[in-house]
Amino acid sequence: MQKPPTIRAAYIAGFFVILAAIITTYKLSFSDKPKNDGLVITGIVVESDNNKEIGQALVTVVGHPEQAATRDNGNFRIVMPAGSPDVVTLHVTKSGYKPYDEDVRIPAEGLTIQVRKQ
């Protein structure tokens, strides 16, 4: 006849169950990353007069759902899906500034988009 598991064995088994759950969650969080890093558009939005960074500007890809709000330092990053066209139009808006459109060839990294105050 077998003895029932000891408390120590139950704690060890519980520890490994929790550890397995953490590892699985960790792996799943990394699998959600975009797999097409070659189709990235990055840049900075600045004022045309003084090159001051503009935060919270909305950068939209015309005709596509992809968009990004610039960070406080003006930087943005948009990942386009596989099969996207080679050239897209970016539309930049921010209250107090004139809307701005620019055609870019993707991938496009390190763009500087200058917008004017209204």
pLDDT digits (tens, 9 = 90+) for 72-106: 999 999 999 999 999 999 999 999 999 999 999 99
Q: Where in the chain is the domain with CATH 2.60.40.1120?
A: 40-115
Domain 40-115 has CATH 3.40.50.1220: no
Task: Please state, in angstroms and rounded to a whole number, the distance separating the CA atoms of residues 117 and 93.
Answer: 11
* 68 alpha-carbon distance from chain centroid: 8
Q: What is the CA radius of gyration of the chain?
A: 24
pLDDT in tens, 24-72: 665 554 544 444 456 999 999 999 999 999 999 999 999 999 999 999 9
Model pTM score: 0.68
